[in-house]
């Protein structure tokens, strides 16, 4: 049995070194690996399978709201990028440039897309002519490149996968409605599918997307008390439309500028999955996002009929709509159990000769290791109930963690002490001044995560300067 546990023992404990624990889980669960290209990652089958599940579910939800998928080029001419000044300045430090095509220098250098607002704007300027052409509600699944100085698997890499929605509307009201609709879609997806509770709110002007009028965000809290921005939705107003001359003929024949939005979620959400639900034994995946929901482990598989019974159970469960595998490798049962836990498979089904005699199987939950004996006559029903229970339990546990690590501070000294000694969200009032935001970051390393839609009046003065407060803000250190 000692040999069986070696794999798990190689994971650094969360309490000892959370950052190393994260890296250990990513590598041991074979989600991704480091590439020869510095700052980039190879997403391995286990990691990509999770992304495929995320992509499938998000895409389904997008299309229910009228979204259509398109694809834009990977290259953006410099002159096109320069059309929106604030946008360019926001991304300038992260842009990767292409200067040669083959052996010949390019007449105009091109950037590898860090995001595609300018490409969509250039397209919309040619494609939209009349109010009848609106709205345009497009999305693309692609990769983008941002030349990050510090990288971590999934959380921050120089190339990453994401989706980016770009829409054009006739009125400001329609654009605002779409912006909030997509943010709520992301929030519902995180809570219902990923079992990750989030705070919904608006970014401050300092933290909003370059070129946007308003940025809305969902903020999640990781196990170590750091925040992770998990999805954003931006209202661009008509700023990009004016820079790119995107106009349409209204019903009264007057020329009007369109109002635009953009929204995105990336592979960093896989990092959130790991850090919200994982434990010292490895990955823990909610059933609704797990590529393999059930692993059947035959015990004493060399005995007559055991493997055949395991395959029979697999076929029954797959027919019932579950994602199932049988571990029929020649490893010991203990090794298989540890491997199953490492990979975060929500439910393990154990079947051996004695179980077959009793017409039963053993169900083992990944989240709390609880064992349950069930009759094989109730296999489909009981496994379905168990998976639903696990999904809810993971959300409830994560929600309780957020609530236990969300604090309030009314005075400056209390605020600084809480940030420094109690990892998590700190709710505090703010006057709206950028100077206070910058001072908080300089002194504590915390940033404004969002101004939540559900506002609370904790006091009437700013926690930093003491002047009259305008908003309650969630503050915290973040990835």
Q: Residue 329's Cα: distance from chain center in Å? A: 33
pLDDT for 17 equals: 97
pLDDT for 284 equals: 98
For CATH 3.30.930.10, the residue range(s) in the chain are: 17-277
Per-residue confidence at 2, pLDDT binned at 50, 70, 90?
A: very low
For CATH 3.40.50.800, the residue range(s) in the chain are: 294-386
Backbone angles phi, psi at 38, to 5 degrees: -55, 130
The stretch 1-9 carries a mean pLDDT of: 48
DSSP letters, 161-219, are EEEEEEEEESSHHHHHHHHHHHHHHHHHHHHHTS----EEEE--TTTSPTT-SEEEEEE
Per-residue confidence at 4, pLDDT binned at 50, 70, 90?
A: very low
Closest CA to 369 of 338, 399, 324: 338
pLDDT above 50: residue 1: no
Q: Say how many C-beta atoms besides its own lie within 10 A of residue 305's C-beta.
A: 12
Give first-to-last CA distance, the chain, whole Å.
38
pLDDT above 80: residue 7: no
pLDDT above 60: residue 390: yes
pLDDT for 6 equals: 52
Average pLDDT, the chain: 95
The stretch 345-358 carries a mean pLDDT of: 97
pLDDT for 8 equals: 54
Query: Which residue has tokens 């510095």?
Result: 38
Say which residues have a Cβ less than 8 Å from residue 158's Cβ, sequence separation at least 6.
Answer: 37, 38, 39, 40, 96, 145, 146, 147, 148, 151
Tens digits of residue pLDDT in 75-125 = 999 999 888 777 778 778 899 999 999 999 999 999 999 999 999 999 999
Choice among 148-152, 279-283, 374-378 with the minimum mean pLDDT:
148-152
pLDDT above 50: residue 271: yes
Tens digits of residue pLDDT in 240-269 = 999 999 999 999 999 999 999 999 999 999
Q: What is the CATH code of the structural domain delimited by 294-386?
A: 3.40.50.800
Q: Which two tokens stand for residue 34?
A: 């480091």
In 92-168, which residue ranges form alpha helices assigned H by DSSP? 117-127
CA dist 165 → 191, 228, 371, 430, 454 (Å):
21, 20, 44, 31, 26
CA distance 421 to 424: 10
H or E element, residue 2:
helix 2-9
pLDDT above 60: residue 373: yes
For CATH 3.30.110.30, the residue range(s) in the chain are: 406-476
CA distance 193 to 186: 10
Per-residue confidence at 185, pLDDT binned at 50, 70, 90?
A: very high
Q: Which CATH architecture has domain 17-277?
A: 2-Layer Sandwich (3.30)
Closest CA to 212 of 231, 230, 233: 233
CA distance 94 to 147: 4
pLDDT for 84 equals: 75
Q: How does 92-118 read in b/e, with b if 16+ C-beta sit within 10 Å? A: eebbeeeeeeeeeeeeebbbbbbbbbb
**Eight-class DSSP state of 226:** -
- Give percent of the chain above pLDDT 90: 94
CATH fold of 406-476 = Translation Initiation Factor IF3 (3.30.110)
3-class secondary-structure state, position 38:
coil
């Amino acid at each position: 049995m000692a040999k069986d546990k070696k794999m798990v023992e190689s994971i650094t404990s969360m309490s000892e070194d959370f950052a190393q624990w994260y890296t250990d889980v990513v590598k041991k669960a074979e989600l991704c690996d480091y590439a020869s290209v510095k700052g980039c990652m190879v997403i391995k089958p286990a990691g990509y399978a999770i992304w495929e599940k995320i992509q499938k579910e998000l895409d389904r939800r997008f299309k229910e709201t009228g979204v259509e998928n398109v694809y834009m080029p990977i290259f953006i001419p410099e002159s096109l990028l320069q059309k929106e000044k604030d946008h360019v300045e926001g991304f300038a430090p992260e842009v990767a440039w292409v200067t040669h095509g083959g052996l010949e220098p390019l007449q105009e250098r091109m950037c590898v897309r860090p995001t595609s607002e300018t490409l969509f704007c250039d397209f919309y300027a040619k494609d939209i002519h009349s109010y009848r052409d609106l709205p345009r509600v497009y999305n693309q699944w692609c990769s983008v490149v941002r030349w990050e100085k510090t990288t971590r698997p999934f959380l921050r890499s120089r190339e990453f996968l994401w989706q980016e929605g770009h829409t054009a509307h006739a009125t400001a009201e329609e654009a605002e409605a779409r912006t909030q609709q997509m943010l709520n879609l992301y929030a519902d997806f995180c809570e219902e599918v990923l079992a990750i509770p989030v705070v919904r709110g608006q970014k401050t002007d300092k933290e909003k997307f370059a070129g946007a009028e308003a940025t809305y965000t969902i903020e999640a809290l990781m196990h170590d008390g750091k925040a992770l921005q998990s999805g954003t939705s931006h209202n661009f107003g008509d700023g990009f439309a004016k820079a790119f001359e995107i106009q349409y003929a209204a019903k009264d024949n007057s020329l009007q500028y369109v109002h635009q939005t953009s929204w995105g979620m990336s592979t960093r959400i896989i990092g959130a999955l790991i850090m919200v639900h994982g434990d010292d034994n490895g990955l823990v995946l909610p059933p609704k996002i797990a590529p393999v929901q059930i692993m059947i482990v035959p015990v004493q598989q060399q005995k007559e009929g055991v493997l055949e019974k395991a395959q029979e159970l697999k076929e029954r469960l797959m027919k019932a709509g579950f994602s199932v595998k049988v571990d029929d490798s020649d490893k010991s049962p203990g090794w298989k159990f540890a491997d199953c836990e490492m990979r975060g498979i929500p439910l393990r089904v154990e079947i051996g000769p004695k179980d077959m005699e009793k017409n039963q199987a053993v169900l083992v939950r990944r989240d709390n290791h609880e064992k349950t004996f069930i009759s094989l006559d109730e296999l489909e029903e009981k496994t379905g109930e168990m998976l639903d229970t696990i999904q809810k339990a993971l959300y409830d546990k994560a929600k309780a963690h957020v609530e236990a690590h969300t604090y309030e501070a009314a005075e400056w000294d209390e605020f600084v002490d809480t940030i420094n000694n109690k990892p998590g969200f700190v709710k505090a009032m703010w006057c709206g001044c950028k100077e206070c935001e910058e001072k908080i970051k300089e002194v504590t390393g915390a940033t404004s995560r969002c101004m939540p839609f559900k506002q609370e009046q904790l006091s009437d003065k700013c926690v930093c300067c003491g002047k009259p407060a305008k908003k309650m803000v969630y503050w915290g250190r973040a990835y």
